[in-house]
C-alpha cells in the first residue's frame, strides 16, 4: 500500500517535470499564458483545471514538488488511503475558487494577470493537516501540527501579498479548501480500528485487573 501511494506521488512529480520540459519546447502551444488560470475569464476555461500543473521555472517546480512531498508524507501517516481522493477534490475546488478570487488585490490595469503552479496543492494539504490536528487533538496529530510549523515556518507568510509575483490568492484558495475538506471529512477518513482488536484490548485490560471504573466504591 505504501509503495502504491509513493508511486502515485512519484508519477505526479514526473508528470510535472515532463510538462515543464514540454512547455519550454513548445511555448507557442503549451506556454503558461495559454494554460494558466485567468480569473473570471471564461474564454480561458482550460486553465482553471490545468494552471496548477504549469510552472514558470525549474526552481518554481522543485520548490512545490519538495513541499508537496513532505506534506503528502505527513498526510499519509494519518490518512493512508485517502491521498488520491483528497488530491482530486482539492484540485478542482481550489482551482475553481482561485478562478473566482484571483483578481483580488491585483492591479487590473496590468495585462497577463494569471496564476500558475502547484503551490495551491501544497497549501490545500497544509490546510487539511493543520485543521485535522485542531479537530483531533491527538498526540500524533499535534506532533504533525508542530512539525509543519517547524519545517515550514514561513507557511503563513505566503498568505500575505508581499511579493507581486507570488499568487497569495492561490495560497489562500488552497488553504481554505483544505481546511473545509478537513472539517467535513477528517473523522470519516480516519482509519477504523477492527472490532476484533477492540474486543481483544478490552479482554487484556480485564485480565490485567484494569476496570472501566478505576474507583473502589464504599
How does pLDDT run along the chain (218 residues), one tens digit per residue? 555 666 766 777 777 777 667 666 544 444 446 788 999 988 888 888 888 988 878 788 888 888 888 898 899 888 988 988 999 999 999 999 999 998 887 665 555 578 989 999 999 999 999 999 999 988 988 999 998 888 887 888 889 888 888 899 999 999 999 999 999 998 888 876 544 444 454 555 555 555 454 443 33
Contact 188, 85 (CB under 8 A): no
Residue 14 lies in a domain: yes
Position 179 in a domain:
yes
Q: Smallest Cα–Cα separation from 59: which of 98, 3, 29, 20?
A: 20
Name the DSSP letter for residue 82.
Answer: -
Task: Judge whether 217 lies within some domain.
Answer: no
- Asked if residue 68 is part of any domain, the answer here is yes
Please give the tally of structural domains in the chain.
Answer: 1
| Residue 209, in any domain of the structure | no
**Domain CATH for 74:** 1.20.1540.10
Backbone phi, psi, residue 115, to 5°:
-125, 135
Q: Distance (Å, rounded) from C-alpha 153 to C-alpha 147?
A: 9
Degrees, nearest 5: CA angle 171-158-165 = 85
Q: Measured between alpha carbons, how far is residue 103 from residues 22, 116, 142, 192 in Å?
A: 28, 14, 35, 42
In a domain, 205, yes or no: no
* Three-state SS sequence of 140-209: HHHHHHHHHHHHCCCCHHHHCCCCCCCCHHHHHHHHHHHHHHHHHHHHHHCCCCCHHHHHHHHHHHHHCC
Q: Which domain holds residue 157?
A: 2-193
For the whole model, what pTM was predicted?
Answer: 0.79
Amino acid at each position: 500500500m505504501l509503495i502504491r501511494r509513493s508511486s502515485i506521488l512519484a508519477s505526479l512529480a514526473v508528470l510535472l517535470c515532463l510538462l515543464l520540459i514540454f512547455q519550454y519546447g513548445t511555448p507557442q502551444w503549451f506556454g503558461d499564458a495559454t494554460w494558466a488560470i485567468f480569473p473570471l475569464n471564461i474564454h480561458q476555461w482550460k486553465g482553471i483545471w490545468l494552471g496548477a500543473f504549469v510552472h514558470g521555472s525549474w526552481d518554481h517546480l522543485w520548490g512545490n514538488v519538495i513541499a508537496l512531498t513532505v506534506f503528502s508524507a505527513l498526510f499519509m501517516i494519518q490518512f493512508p488511503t485517502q491521498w488520491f481522493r483528497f488530491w482530486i477534490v482539492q484540485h478542482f475546488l481550489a482551482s475553481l475558487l482561485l478562478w473566482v478570487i484571483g483578481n483580488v488585490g491585483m492591479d487590473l490595469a496590468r495585462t497577463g494577470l494569471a496564476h500558475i503552479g502547484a503551490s495551491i496543492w501544497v497549501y490545500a494539504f497544509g490546510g487539511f493537516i493543520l485543521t485535522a490536528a485542531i479537530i483531533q487533538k491527538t498526540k500524533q496529530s499535534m506532533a504533525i501540527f508542530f512539525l509543519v510549523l517547524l519545517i515550514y515556518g514561513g507557511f503563513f507568510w505566503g498568505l500575505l501579498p508581499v511579493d507581486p509575483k507570488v499568487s497569495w490568492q492561490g495560497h489562500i484558495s488552497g488553504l481554505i479548501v483544505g481546511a473545509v475538506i478537513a472539517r467535513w471529512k477528517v473523522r470519516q477518513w480516519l482509519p477504523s480500528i477492527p472490532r476484533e482488536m477492540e474486543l481483544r484490548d478490552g479482554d487484556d485490560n480485564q485480565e490485567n485487573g484494569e476496570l472501566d471504573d478505576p474507583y473502589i466504591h464504599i
